[in-house]
Amino acid sequence: MSFSFDVTHRLETSPGRAGVIHTPHGSIETPAFIVVGTKASVKAVLPEAVRDLGAQAVLANAYHLYLQPGSDLIDEAGGLGRFMNWPMPTFTDSGGFQVMSLGAGFKKVLAMDTAGLQNDDVIAEGKTRMAHVDEDGVTFKSHLDGDRHRFTPEVSMRIQHELGADIMFAFDELTTLMNTRGYQESSVERTHRWAARCLGAHAELTRQRADKPYQALFGVIQGAQYEDLRRRAARGLAELEVDGQRFDGFGLGGALEKENLGTIVGWMVDELPEDRPRHLLGISEPDDFFAAVEMGVDTFDCVNPSRVARNAAIYTADGRYNVNTARHRRSFIPLEDGCDCYTCLHYTRAYLHHLFKAKEMLASTLATIHNERFTVRLVDNIRAALVSGDFHAYRDEFLGRFYSA
């Protein structure tokens, strides 16, 4: 088996750790930020530039690639990494998030700020609803052409095996913080039953495709903001074994209250085995990184750094700003002072300002390179601080400066 995880360093006062994930396509030093390439492309950026900005792995989306160009085609091309010219490690998510988002009508449900509202109607039947969950799986309409499709745990596993990423995620039911306690409870139970079916299908597909490199499968833990549900879900998935197959790692998923992120992550980590990596889905804000790493998260992914870059929002150690605004028109300095990215080494804010105003495609490319470099470097620096014993000092210094603006 060519997937493994070694913990190399630990924090003394909390479950935080540094380590190395080994995959058939190379290693990932953790904690690490995984750059998102939803449709087998990091939008606007050449794969060589993604490598140069320090990305160790890329995460693509099973739902989008299943609809277009089709996972069978990517299988035929030799798998996701070969198809997109990314020879290093790859991840795919299960498609559950995208499919279920169609149903809930929510664009952003992770790390959401709650209004204290709870109502299952947000995912109830409705004219505009595009996805329907039942015990066996989810029926949904394609966002591309409105055609009906069906995802089940078995379908998701087949698609992800065809995509061929090194790390895959089990098909889970997404809920939002708006759902009632009762719905969260039945959702956790359903996600557990789906997890068992994913393990069974994964074991079978691994046997059928024994000539391919081993693909690791992570179980996804739900349970929203409830301690007993989070713990029960984590324990259940940690103990689960089907057909000799166990989860190789765990995805910490679902809606998380931002202000309690560290606490909620802590409940799950407490129930999980030490020797399996933990991936926190959909997180990229600096304070969330520190809180999660402190509590034992190993990897992250998020579309946010590249998405906001395409809207001219630039991350720096002094906070986020918009390079589109008039004050940067004659600003002949880099996007971020001291940044080592390709964009900051060669271009000025004034040039980026011009590109955005002129609607030049290069604006997205250069801004994305900077924001992805900022995010990858931040998590790399957190790792370095953890290894050298300076985690808390680095956290206080970084967050103090970033949020002081």
Catalytic residues: 93, 301
Could you tell me the smallest distance in angstroms from the CB atom of residue 40 to Zn ion?
25
Identify which of residues 161 and 370 has a Cβ nearer to Zn ion in the complex. Answer: 370
Q: How far apart are CA 158 and CA 109, in angstroms?
A: 26
**17 phi, psi to nearest 5 deg:** -150, 160
**18 sits in which H/E element:** strand 17-23
- Please, what is the minimum distance in Å from the beta carbon of residue 305 to Zn ion? 12
Query: Across-strand partners of 30?
Result: 19
Q: Which is nearer to Zn ion, 74 or 341 (CB)?
A: 341
Q: Which residues bind Zn ion (CB under 5 A)?
A: 339, 341, 343-344, 370
Nearer to Zn ion, 328 or 370 (CB): 370
Write out the two tokens for 11.
């924090």
Q: Determine the length of the chain.
A: 405
Question: Could you tell me the CA-to-CA distances from 372 to 11, 79, 183, 193, 319 in Å, in that order?
Answer: 26, 24, 36, 36, 15
- Enter the tokens of residue 137: 């799986």
Nearer to Zn ion among residue 343 and residue 365 (C-beta): 343
* Shortest distance, position 8 Cβ to Zn ion, whole Å: 29
Query: Of 129 and 377, which CB lies nearer to Zn ion in the complex structure?
Result: 377
Gap between the Cα atoms of 142 and 130, Å rounded:
8
The reply, when asked if residue 250 is annotated as ligand binding, is no
Strands 4-10 and 17-23: antiparallel
| 93 is annotated as contributing to ligand binding | yes
95 is in an annotated binding site: yes
Q: What is the rounded CA–CA span in Å between residue 391 and residue 73?
A: 45
How far apart CA 376 and CA 354 sit, in angstroms, is: 26
Do the annotations mark residue 143 as ligand-binding?
Answer: no
182 marked ligand binding residue: no
Give dist(CA 233, CA 363) in Å, integer: 43
Place of tokens 């591309």: 144
Rounded to a whole number of angstroms, the minimum distance from the CB of residue 280 to Zn ion is 24
Q: Which is nearer to Zn ion, 54 or 96 (CB)?
A: 54
Side chain identity at 219, as an amino acid letter?
A: G
Pairing of strands 131-133, 138-141: antiparallel
The Cα 151–Cα 119 span in angstroms is 25
- Cα–Cα dist 100/110, whole Å: 13
Write down the least CB distance from residue 137 to Zn ion, Å.
43
Q: CA nearest 140: which of 93, 96, 102?
A: 102
Q: Which is nearer to Zn ion, 83 or 321 (CB)?
A: 321
- Would the annotation count 96 as a binding residue? yes
78 marked as part of a ligand binding site: no
Minimum separation from the CB atom of position 335 to Zn ion (A): 5
Q: What is the DSSP string of 163-208?
A: HT-SEEE-------TTS-HHHHHHHHHHHHHHHHHHHHHHHHHHHH
Smallest distance from Zn ion to CB 314, Å:
8
3 is in an annotated binding site: no
Residue 370 annotated as part of some ligand binding site? yes
Enumerate residues 6+ apart whose C-beta is below 8 A from 400.
Answer: none
CA 299 → CA 18, 102, 242, 290, 353, distances in Å? 10, 26, 25, 12, 33
Cα separation, 252 vs 299, in Å, equals 10
Which residue ranges make up the annotated binding site for substrate?
Answer: 93-97, 172, 222, 254
Which residue ranges make up the annotated binding site?
Answer: 93-97, 172, 222, 254, 339, 341, 344, 370
Which residue ranges make up the annotated binding site for Zn(2+)?
Answer: 339, 341, 344, 370
